[in-house]
Amino acid sequence: MTQFDIFNGDADGLCALHQLRLERPLDSVLVTGVKRDVALLQRVPARRGDAITVLDISAATNHEALVALLELGVTVDYFDHHHAGDLPRHPGLKARIDPSPGVCTAMLVDRHLMGKWRVWAVVAAFGDNLPQEALELARSLALDHDRCEALRELGEDLAYNAYGETIADLVIPPEALYRLMHRYADPFTFMHAEPIVRRLSESRQQDLTMASGLDPEFAFDHATIYVLPDAPWSRRVFGVFGNHLASRFPDVAHAVLTPNAQGGYVVSVRAPVTVRTGADALCRQFPTGGGRAAAAGINHLSREALPEFARRFEKAFPAVPR
């Protein structure tokens, strides 16, 4: 029997898998990619009797491949916080899915493991732009302010590394980053022992500085749209820049676009932090769109569709009630 671990290459996917394998070490085949590379189940060369663990990947996006694997006789353990669509009913599927706005996949794994490796769920929650939830988890571990800030930095660095159109845009491939992380049960030891952490932090800060110098392409009363230039740094930073804007302007919705190889844009949307709903509903109005209520995206938006996206974006996020 072969064990396959399929995970999103961002902070949430990395930390979710890390928790599981700290608790239940297994030799497994890893399948991952850049953050938007989510149709991963179709790449799994599984056979009858094999087992798959899926983390932080939309079941709706992978529906056909999931059904095919289950019918083949593969067992699937699924943890996720995205819109799942119609989950197949099958004895080989064990699904732990919760699309609530204040949940990330690593928090679902934390529940499953009853807090055994919770410090990594704190890292993931910070990386998934859930700072209040991260602090609540941190309080249960009696972590002081300085340690919380260190975990915040690590989570944001891990999240930053996942953004890019291809692996070549990233500072380090997610699979390699996971293998480095998995040497350490303690994130503080990981931060001090591995030079890659400082490299990620420095690169993120440089890219954020460049993005912060830009003006929005569209600025509405309660929503802004930024279009970044066609460059590796912008493809790396556009998701983290969205989180940065959401933190600075919590009553405002934000969309960050960067050009893609198809001649259009990749879109990252953040609902207002004070509302945390509507991002997924907006993005699913467009082909290749999806995500969760607080943060969602579109893998390809044509240039011709940008004005229509802007119109729907403004309509989706009116003034926040007070």
Alpha carbons 133 and 124: distance in angstroms, whole number: 10
Beta-sheet pairing, 289-291 with 295-301: antiparallel
Q: What is the CATH number of the domain that holds 88?
A: 3.90.1640
Alpha carbons 247 and 33: distance in angstroms, whole number: 27
Q: Residue 160 domain-assigned? A: yes
The pTM for the full model equals 0.86
Q: 322 falls in which pLDDT band (50, 70, 90)?
A: very low
Q: Are residues 147 and 177 in the same domain?
A: yes
State pLDDT tens for residues 66-85: 999 999 999 999 999 998 98
The length of the chain, given as a count of residues: 322
Q: What is the CATH number of the domain that holds 309?
A: 3.10.310.40
Rg (Cα) of the chain, in Å, rounded?
19
Q: Are residues 90 and 170 in the same domain?
A: yes
State pLDDT tens for residues 191-219: 999 999 999 999 999 999 999 999 999 99
Mean residue pLDDT across the chain: 94
Q: Which two tokens stand for residue 66?
A: 């999931």
Q: Are residues 96 and 233 in the same domain?
A: no
Q: Supply the DSSP symbol for 231.
A: S
Q: 319 falls in which pLDDT band (50, 70, 90)?
A: low
- What is residue 321's predicted lDDT score, i.e. its pLDDT? 46
Residue position matching structure tokens 């952490």:
197
Residue position matching structure tokens 């590379």:
37
The more confident residue out of 294 and 193 is 193
- What is residue 27's predicted lDDT score, i.e. its pLDDT? 93
Q: Residue 139: is it exposed, middle or buried by C-beta count within 10 angstroms (0-12/13-18/19+)? A: exposed
Neighbours of 166 (CB within 10 A): 12
Q: Residue 173 domain-assigned? A: yes
Least confident of 4-8, 268-272, 293-297: 293-297
Q: Are residues 15 and 102 in the same domain?
A: yes
Q: Is the pLDDT of residue 234 over 70?
A: yes
Q: Are residues 88 and 137 in the same domain?
A: yes
Alpha carbons 197 and 203: distance in angstroms, whole number: 10
State pLDDT tens for residues 107-150: 999 999 999 999 999 999 999 989 999 999 999 999 999 999 99
| Domains held by the chain: number | 2
Q: Are residues 236 and 178 in the same domain?
A: no
Q: 26 falls in which pLDDT band (50, 70, 90)?
A: very high
Instruction: Say how far residue 46 (Cα) sits from the centre of its chain.
Output: 25
Q: Which two tokens stand for residue 120?
A: 């990594």
Q: What backbone torsions phi and psi does residue 38 show, to the nearest 5 degrees?
A: -105, -10
Q: Which two tokens stand for residue 210?
A: 């460049």
Domain range spanning residue 172? 3-201
Q: Residue 22 domain-assigned? A: yes
Q: Are residues 35 and 180 in the same domain?
A: yes
Q: Residue 207 domain-assigned? A: no
State pLDDT tens for residues 217-233: 999 989 999 999 999 99
Report, as an integer, the average pLDDT of 11-34: 97
Q: Residue 274 domain-assigned? A: yes
Q: Residue 24 domain-assigned? A: yes
Q: 165 falls in which pLDDT band (50, 70, 90)?
A: confident
Q: Residue 208 domain-assigned? A: no
Q: Are residues 278 and 183 in the same domain?
A: no
